[in-house]
Structure 1
Amino acid sequence: MFLTDDFILKNSFAKQLYHEYAKKQPIIDYHCHLDPKEIFENQNFTNLTQAWLAEDHYKWRLMRANGVAESLITGDADDYEKFCAWAQTLEACIGNPLYVWTNLELKRIFGIDERLTLANAASIWEKANQQLQTKEFSPRGLIKKMAVEVICTTDDPIDSLTYHQKLAEESFAVYPTFRPDKAINLQNPEFPAYLKKLAIAASKEITSYQTLVEALTVRISYFQQQGCRLADHSLSRLGEEAYDVAALEAIFQKRLTTETLTNEEIRQFQTGLLIDLMRQYAKQGWTAQLHLMATRNNSQKLFQQLGPDSGGDAMGDDRLARGLSRTLAQLQAESLLPKTILYSLNSKDYPVLTALMGAFQEESKGKLQLGSAWWFNDTYSGMRHQLTTLAEGGILGNFVGMLTDSRSFLSYPRHEYFRRILCQVISEWVEDGQLPADEIYLGQIVADISYHNAKTYFDFPN
C-alpha cells in the first residue's frame, strides 16, 4: 500500500487525471537554489549523504528534533554515520512530507522500492552509492533523468553568471534569477563592503541612493542578456509609508555614516528600493517573486556556529496587507506593475493575498499569482490549503504550479507529490458534483498547471 502507483489518488477520476495528464509533463523548476557551477562541472557525488544531506536544512531540523548530535548533522562525523542518523530519524517522521519525499526519491531516482529504516540503511547506502558513481546519476544526468526542462537558479546581482553561459548548449535550460537581498538589507554589517563589490560589477561608483538604483539597473540589463526572466525578494514585511525618494536618500546616507537605523527606516528603505527595482522588472517583462513572512536566524547559536540557511528560520506573523497594497498600487498607477508571484510563509495569509491580488489583476491571465505552498507549508495539507484558497478566491486554472525551492538534485519527485495532490483535489470536486466529470476538460487544466502555464507565463528564451 505504500507509495503505490496510485498513492494519494483515492478514486478513478483522480487516477485518470494524474496518469494521463499530469505524470507525462516535463518540469519547469522556476525557483530553486541549485548551484550552476555544480551543474556545469557535473562531478558525481561521493555518496548519498553528500547528495542528500549536505545542504538540506529541512532534514537537519528534524534530526535536531530527534536528539541527534550536531556532529552527525553538520559536523565532522563519518558520512555513513550521518546517513544512519537520518534513517533512524525518518522512522519517527510519519505524516511529515519528508517521510514521503525521502522514500519517493529512493524509488523514482534509484529504483529502490523499500522504505528507509535503520535496519536496511546499509543495503540502501550500498545500492544508491553504486548508482551515484555512474554518468546517469551525475548532476546533469539526474536533471535529464527527471525530465527537467528549465531550471532557474537564485543569483546575486554581482554574480558573473559564467556557468549559466557555459551551460547554454545543454538540452535543458539553466537561467539566472536576480536576488538583490544584499543590496536591500542595508542593516546588515556587510552592506558597505557589498556596495563596493556591486560598484565593481556594474562599473559605476555608488555614492547615493540614486547611483545604487542605477548600478542595480545595469546588472538587471546584464541578467536579461543571460536569459533571466525572474527576480526574487525575501522580505519579512513591507513598509506602509508612501514612497519618498528624499527620505530614501537620507536613510542611505545615514547608513554610510552610522549603523544605527530604526526599524521603520530599514523597512522604508527596503520597500522603496523594491518599488524602484520592480519598475525595472516591469520594463524588462520579468516576474517578481516576493517571499514574505520569513523570520531569519532565530537561533543565534546556530547562526554563529553555522551561518544562515542552517535551520534557524521560522515563519513570521506581522501585518502584511497594508504595505503590500500600497506597493502594488503605486506601481499599478505608474503602469509599471510587473507580473508578480506572492508567497507567504504563514498560511494564514493565503486568503489575504488571494483577495488583494484580485484588486490588481490586469492585462494578462494570472498576472498576479498566489505562490505555491512554500517551505513550512510545503506539505500535504499545506498544498491542499493553497490550492483550495486560490480556487475559491481566484482562478486556479491560471496557476503556474510547483517549484522545488531546493538545493538538492534529488528533489524533483516533489513535483510528482504536488501533481498527485492537485489531481486528488480536483477529483473530489467532481465527486461532490461541483465539477463535471469531463476528463479532457479537467485534464487540460491539470496539464496546464503542471507545465504549460509556467512555460507561457515566464516566456523564457527559446
Structure 2
Amino acid sequence: MKAFLDENFLLNTDSAGELYHSYAKGLPIIDYHNHLPASQVAQDKTFSNLGELWLANDHYKWRAMRAHGIDEFYITGGASDKEKFLKWAETVPYTLRNPLYHWTHLELQRYFGITDLLCPATAERIYEETAQQIVDAGFSAKNLLKRMNVEMLCTTDDPLDTLEYHQQVSAEGEVFKMQPTFRTDRAIDADNVKELNRYIDRLEEIVGFSIHSFNDYLEGLRNRHDHFAACGCTISDHSIERLYAIEYTDFELKTIFAKIRAGKQPDLEEASKFRSALLLSFAEWAHEKKWVQQYHIGSLRNNSRRMSVLSGTDTGHDSIGDFKQAKELSLFLDRLDYRGKLAKTILYNLNPSDNELFVSMAGNFNDGSVRGKVQFGPAWWFLDQKDGITKQLNALSNIGLVSNFVGMLTDSRSFLSFPRHEYFRRLLCDIFGMDMERGEIPNDREWVGKIIQDISYFNAREYFSFSK
C-alpha cells in the first residue's frame, strides 16, 4: 500500500515517476489566469496566520464548510481567523475524495513542511506552527510567489482598473512578472441595468467624454483597451454562459443602448444583441493587437438569492450550467475567421458533457498559422480535479493534439494555490506513463519527456509570447 502524499503521489508506474521527477517537477510556473489582487502583490502584503491565508477568499473551501453544516458566521461572517481555521480543520477529514483534501495537505507540505493530517486533534498545533513560520520566514505575497517558482502571473482586471499596481511591479523589476488581463464581465452585463449605468457613468469619468450612444460606449471601452495594451496587457478574458452571435443592426444597437441609459431593462433578445456586438468588437481588437482571447463558458452564477443577500455575490453559490453551446460558438468563431480577424483563442468549458464538442469546435478554426491557435482550455473551476483533468486531457488527446496544449492554471484567489500546477503535472505524467507501460506510446523517455515539459511550461511561454 502506498503512503499518502509521498514523492510518487498520483504516479502509479515507474514511467510516470521518471517523467515527473526528471522532466516536469522543476519547471517554473506560468499562471496565465488567476484572481489574485494585484494590489496585494505590489504592496507585498503580509499575512498574520493560516486562517487569513487560506479562508479569506476561497469559495471552494466555503462551499465545503457549508455542506458540512458550518454556520456562515465561521465562513464569511465575523468570526476570527483562528475560529474560521478551526472550523475548516473540523471539515477537512470529511473532504476525502474531494480535491480539497489533496490541495490542503499539498499546501501544508510544500509551504510549511508539515506532513501531519489536518483534523481537530492537530488543528491548534498546526495553526500555531504555521503562524510562527509566517512571521519568521517572510510569507509575504511576493515571497510566496517566489517560493513556488512563479515566473508569470496574469491577473483578472476590469477595463476600468487603473493598472497602477501592475506598473509598480513592472518598474521594480521583480524576478517574476505580473501582467493584467482585460476582463469584460461588468461591461457586457445587460441583465442589471442599474449597475450597468453606474459602470458607464464611471467610464465617462475615466475617459473624459460623454457617452450618449452605443458607439460612444465602444469608443470608451476601446480607450481602456488601449490603456491596458500600453501597460503590457496581451490577454483578454470573457466569462459568459454561452457565446453570443445573434445578428443585429446599428439601429437596433442604438435603440437598445438608449433604453439602457433610460434605465429600462432590455428583453432577452436585446441583451443578447448587446453582448454579441460587444464581444465581436473585443475579439476584433484582440486580433489587431495580437492578443490571446479567453472565453470561460458555461457557469450558472449566484443561484441562491438568499445567500447572495447574506454573503454577497461570487461567494460560492455558482454551478455548472447546461446551455446550448455549439451553434453560436461556431457562428462567433466563423464570423471572425472568415474575415481574417480571429486571434489566438482559448475555450474553457465548464460542463464535462461538452468536452468533445469544444475540442472538435476548436479544431475547425486552426489554420496552420500558429501551433494550437484555437485551444481547448484546461479543466476549469468545478473540473480542476483528478477526474475532470483526466477527462479534459483525454478528450483533447482523442480529438485534438494534446502536445500543443498550454497546460494548467490556478484560477484562484489564494496565494497558497500554486501546488495545483504540481497536481496537474503529476496527473499528466501518470497518464503518459501508463500509456508507455501498456505499450500504447513508445518507450522514448527523451521525446515523451519533452512533450511533458512543453505542456507543463514551454507551450504556454511560446503561445502567450512571454519572455523568460
Aligned equivalents of 1:404 and 1:240: distance in 2?
29
Aligned equivalents of 1:221 and 1:344: distance in 2?
29
Q: Does 1:51 align with 2:21?
A: no
Query: Displacement of 1:180 after TM fit?
Result: 1.5
Aligned equivalents of 2:291 and 2:20: distance in 1?
31
Contact 2:376 2:396 in 1 (8 A): yes
Aligned equivalents of 1:390 and 1:354: distance in 2?
6
- The correspondence of residues 65-214 of structure 1 with structure 2, limited to 5 A, is 65-134=67-136, 136-168=138-170, 169-188=173-192, 189-214=194-219
Q: Does 1:411 align with 2:417?
A: yes
The amino acid that maps onto 2:190 is L
Aligned equivalents of 1:178 and 1:459: distance in 2?
17
Deviates more, 1:322-331 or 1:199-208: 199-208
Of 397, 400, 415, which aligns to 1:391? 397
Partner secondary structure for residue 289 of structure 1: strand
Aligned equivalents of 2:396 and 2:276: distance in 1?
26
Partner secondary structure for residue 303 of structure 1: helix
Contact 1:155 1:176 in 2 (8 A): yes
Contact 2:461 2:467 in 1 (8 A): no
TM-score norm. by structure 1 comes to: 0.98
Aligned pairs, number: 462
The amino acid that maps onto 1:456 is E
Of 333, 339, 345, which aligns to 2:338? 333
Contact 2:246 2:272 in 1 (8 A): no
Q: Does 1:324 align with 2:329?
A: yes
Aligned equivalents of 2:262 and 2:46: distance in 1?
48
**Cα offsets for 1:308-344 (capped at 9, x unmatched):** 1111111110100111111101111111111111011
Partner secondary structure for residue 11 of structure 2: coil
Aligned equivalents of 1:338 and 1:255: distance in 2?
30
Query: Displacement of 1:299 after TM fit?
Result: 0.5
**Cα offsets for 1:28-75 (capped at 9, x unmatched):** 000000111111111311111110001000000000000001111111
Contact 2:239 2:295 in 1 (8 A): yes
Aligned equivalents of 2:340 and 2:208: distance in 1?
30
TM-score norm. by structure 2 comes to: 0.97
The amino acid that maps onto 2:243 is L
Equivalent residue number for residue 40 of structure 2: 38
Percent of matched pairs sharing the same residue: 44
Equivalent residue number for residue 443 of structure 1: 449
Query: Displacement of 1:243 after TM fit?
Result: 4.7
Q: Does 1:285 align with 2:287?
A: no
Contact 1:372 1:403 in 2 (8 A): yes
Aligned equivalents of 1:271 and 1:389: distance in 2?
29
Aligned equivalents of 1:408 and 1:310: distance in 2?
14
Aligned equivalents of 1:92 and 1:413: distance in 2?
21
Equivalent residue number for residue 373 of structure 1: 379
Partner secondary structure for residue 91 of structure 1: helix
Partner secondary structure for residue 3 of structure 1: coil
CA RMSD of aligned residues (A): 1.2
Equivalent residue number for residue 320 of structure 2: 315
Contact 2:425 2:456 in 1 (8 A): yes
Query: Displacement of 1:250 after TM fit?
Result: 2.2
Partner secondary structure for residue 116 of structure 1: coil
Aligned equivalents of 1:170 and 1:433: distance in 2?
45
Aligned equivalents of 1:421 and 1:27: distance in 2?
16
The amino acid that maps onto 1:386 is Q
Partner secondary structure for residue 149 of structure 1: strand
Equivalent residue number for residue 440 of structure 2: 434
Contact 1:227 1:460 in 2 (8 A): no
**Cα offsets for 1:265-294 (capped at 9, x unmatched):** 212211221011100011111111101111
Query: Displacement of 1:457 after TM fit?
Result: 0.5
Aligned equivalents of 2:178 and 2:136: distance in 1?
22
Contact 2:190 2:271 in 1 (8 A): yes
The amino acid that maps onto 1:183 is A
Q: Does 1:219 align with 2:219?
A: no
Aligned equivalents of 2:387 and 2:361: distance in 1?
23
Equivalent residue number for residue 257 of structure 1: 262
Aligned equivalents of 2:248 and 2:433: distance in 1?
46
**Cα offsets for 1:208-241 (capped at 9, x unmatched):** 1112111111111111111111111111113352
- The correspondence of residues 416-427 of structure 1 with structure 2, limited to 5 A, is 416-427=422-433
The amino acid that maps onto 1:111 is G
Partner secondary structure for residue 310 of structure 1: coil
The amino acid that maps onto 2:88 is W
**Cα offsets for 1:349-392 (capped at 9, x unmatched):** 11001011111112211011111100111110000000000011
Partner secondary structure for residue 119 of structure 1: helix
Query: Displacement of 1:461 after TM fit?
Result: 6.0
Partner secondary structure for residue 443 of structure 2: coil
Query: Displacement of 1:204 after TM fit?
Result: 3.3
Q: Does 1:305 align with 2:310?
A: yes
- Structure 1, unmatched stretches of 5+, are none
Contact 1:136 1:145 in 2 (8 A): no
Q: Moved runs in structure 1, 4+ residues, more than 4 A?
A: none
Deviates more, 1:202-211 or 1:331-340: 202-211
Partner secondary structure for residue 433 of structure 1: coil
Contact 1:135 1:141 in 2 (8 A): no
Residues 243/325 of structure 1: CA separation in 2 closer, same or farther (3 Å cut):
farther
Aligned equivalents of 1:386 and 1:136: distance in 2?
37
Contact 2:16 2:429 in 1 (8 A): yes
**Cα offsets for 1:161-197 (capped at 9, x unmatched):** 1111110121110000001211101222211111011
Of 261, 265, 274, which aligns to 1:269? 274
Aligned equivalents of 1:447 and 1:244: distance in 2?
48
Contact 2:190 2:266 in 1 (8 A): no
Q: Does 1:6 align with 2:14?
A: no
Partner secondary structure for residue 138 of structure 2: helix
Contact 2:244 2:279 in 1 (8 A): no
Contact 1:227 1:461 in 2 (8 A): no
Contact 1:239 1:264 in 2 (8 A): no
